[in-house]
Amino acid sequence: MRPLDALAKVCGDVRPGEPAEGVLGVEPALVAAPENVTEAADVMRVAAENGLAVVPRGAETRLDWGAPPERCDLLVDTHRLDGLIEHAAGDLVAKAEAGLPMERLAEKLAERDQRLALDVPLPGSTVGGTIATGAAGPLRSLYGTPRSLVIGLTIVRADGQVARSGGKVVKNVAGYDLGRLFSGSFGTLGLIVDATFRLHPVPAATAYVVCAVSGPEDAHDAVQTVLHCAVAPSAVEYIGPSGTVAVLLEGVPDGVAARARQTADLLGENAEISGTAPDGWGRYPDGTTLIDISAPPPALRDLLTLLGPDIAVTWSGSGHGHVGLPAESTPDEVADVLGRLRDALGRHRGGAVVRYTPEEVRGEIDLWGPVPALALMRRVKDQFDPDHRLSPGRFAGGI
Partner 1 sequence: MEARLAVLAARLEELLGAGRVITDPVRLRTYECDGLTNHRSTPAVVVLPDTAEQIAGIVRECAAAGTPYVARGSGTGLSGGALPRADGVLIVTSRMRRILEIDIPGQRAVVEPGVVNLDVTRAVRPHGYYFAPDPSSQQICSVGGNVAENSGGAHCLKYGFTAHHVLSCEVVTPDGEIVELPADGPGYDLLGVFVGAEGTLGITTKITVRLTRLPETVQTLLAAFGSIEAGGGAVSAIIGAGVVPAAIEMMDALSIEAAEAAVRCEYPPGAGAVLIVELDGPEAEVAAQFTEVERLCRDAGAFEIRIAADDEERALIWKGRKSAFAAVGRISPAYIVQDGVIPRTALPQVLAQIDALSAESGVRVANVFHAGDGNLHPLVLFDDAEPGAEERAEAVSGAILDLCIEHGGSITGEHGVGVDKSRYMPRMFTDTDLDTMQMVRCGFDPDGLCNPGKVFPTPRLCGEVPGVRRGAHPYEGKADLF
Contact positions with partner 1 (CB under 8 A) in 115-144: 134, 144
Query: Nearest distance from residue 13's CB to partner 1, in Å?
Result: 26
Enumerate residues 38-97 that contact partner 1 by CB under 8 A. 51, 70, 88, 90-93
State the helix-helix crossing angle for 331-346 and 300-307, rounded to 10 degrees: 160
* 313 HSE (CA, 13 A, CB side): 29
Question: Contact region for partner 1 (CB under 8 A) — 6-14, 29-37, 306-314, 390-398?
Answer: 390-398
Q: What are phi and psi of 177, to 5 degrees?
A: -90, 90
Query: Nearest distance from residue 100's CB to partner 1, in Å?
Result: 21
CB nearer partner 1, residue 77 or residue 177: 177
Nearest to 305 by CA among 240, 211, 355, 209: 240
Query: Nearest distance from residue 70's CB to partner 1, in Å?
Result: 6
Question: Contact region for partner 1 (CB under 8 A) — 2-10, 73-81, 280-288, 295-303?
Answer: 295-303
Question: Contact region for partner 1 (CB under 8 A) — 3-11, 28-36, 97-105, 378-386?
Answer: 378-386
Per the DSSP assignment, residues forming a β-bridge with 292 are 322, 353
CB nearer partner 1, residue 311 or residue 345: 345
How many binding residues for partner 1 (CB under 8 A)?
Answer: 97
In the stretch 305-334, what mask flags binding to partner 1 with x, by CB under 8 A?
--------------xx--------------
Q: Candidates 8, 24, 335, 377: give the one binding partner 1 (CB under 8 A).
A: 377
Enumerate residues 2-31 that contact partner 1 by CB under 8 A. none
Q: Candidates 207, 351, 390, 394: give the one binding partner 1 (CB under 8 A).
A: 351
3-state secondary structure 80-133: CCCCEEEEEHHHCEEEEECCCEHHHHHHHHHCCCEECCCCCCCCCCEHHHHHHH
CB nearer partner 1, residue 79 or residue 378: 378
Judge whether 193 and 58 are in contact, CB under 8 Å: no
Q: How far is CA 78 from CA 87, 110, 148, in A?
A: 20, 23, 23
Nearest to 27 by CA among 62, 66, 59, 57: 57
Q: Candidates 216, 297, 321, 324: give the one binding partner 1 (CB under 8 A).
A: 297
Measured CA to CA, the distance from residue 133 to residue 145 in angstroms comes to 10
Which residues 6+ apart lie within 8 Å of 305 measured at CB?
Answer: 216
Q: Candidates 83, 124, 241, 398: give the one binding partner 1 (CB under 8 A).
A: 398
CB nearer partner 1, residue 296 or residue 309: 296
Question: Contact region for partner 1 (CB under 8 A) — 11-19, 123-131, 201-209, 329-337?
Answer: 201-209
Nearest to 301 by CA among 354, 268, 348: 348
